[in-house]
């Protein structure tokens, strides 16, 4: 059975939710924070990051969007074929969230890696939250345009990563109250039994 490696507070929650939604035969193994930098895990994923999936033959798949793509292809419903409109939009939404929005959080999680002086660090933070604010505005607008219930109008794996971003906003000076569609979506996700299962497996609590 493949093993999905996760860690509390990380974007590995996204494929964890997908596993729950699909009832996929995947073991979810949650590591304590810091274990991702230890030799045992680095032998599995030298990047020292989560999520990753280790298959029975020893092959390893990393990156949340790639793992979600595999889950959808291997276990059917829950993702959509990329030859359909919603499947293409799902891929687009996931690419945007996992690359542009996630990458923008670098200035929040590690501003000292992007600047040397304290003044420069503060400038990085200011620009980071400005950029993130624009991203959340865009995400809120897309959700609104598609009926507010699901990011693309139907439940897709894009909703799993959007939920991660809706949680992370609480760590920033930004307020989810400024993005009402996102706030409603987060509450809806937290009422979902699959999300609740994934949170419990990852030793996390609902925010709302």
Query: What is the tens place of the pLDDT at every residue in 127-166?
Result: 888 999 999 999 999 999 999 999 999 999 999 999 999 9
148 class by beta-carbon count within 10 Å (0-12 exposed, 13-18 middle, 19+ buried): middle
pLDDT at 169: 97
CA 177 to CA 58: how far, in whole Å? 45
3-state secondary structure of 46: coil
pLDDT at 121: 65
CA 207 to CA 187: how far, in whole Å? 8
Instruction: Report the chain's mean pLDDT, rounded to a whole number.
Output: 91
- Residue ranges of alpha helices (H) inside 76-151 are 85-95, 102-104, 106-109, 118-145
Q: Can you list the domains of the chain with their CATH numbers?
A: 3-78 (3.40.30.10), 85-192 (1.20.1050.10)
The predicted model scores a pTM of 0.93
In which residue ranges of the chain is pLDDT below 50?
none
Structure tokens of 94? 């996931």
């Amino acid at each position: 059975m493949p093993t999905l490696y996760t860690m509390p507070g990380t974007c590995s929650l996204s494929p964890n939710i997908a596993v729950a939604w699909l009832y996929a035969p995947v073991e979810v193994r949650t590591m304590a924070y810091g274990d991702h930098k230890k030799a045992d895990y680095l032998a599995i994923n030298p990047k020292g990051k989560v999520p990753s999936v280790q298959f029975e033959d020893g092959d390893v798949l990393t990156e949340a969007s790639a793992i979600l793509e595999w889950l959808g292809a291997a276990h059917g419903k829950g993702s959509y074929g990329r030859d359909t409109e919603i499947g293409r939009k799902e891929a687009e939404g996931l690419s945007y969230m996992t690359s542009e929005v996630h990458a923008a959080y670098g200035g929040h999680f590690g501003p000292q890696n992007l600047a040397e002086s304290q003044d420069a660090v503060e400038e990085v933070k200011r620009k980071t939250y400005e950029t993130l604010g624009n991203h959340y505005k865009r995400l809120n607008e897309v959700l609104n345009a598609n009926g507010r219930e699901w990011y693309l109008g139907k439940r897709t794996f894009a909703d799993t990563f959007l939920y991660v971003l809706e949680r992370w906003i609480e760590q920033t000076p930004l307020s989810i109250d400024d993005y009402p569609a996102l706030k409603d979506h987060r509450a809806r996700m937290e009422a979902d039994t699959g999300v609740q299962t994934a949170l419990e497996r990852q030793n996390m609590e609902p925010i709302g």
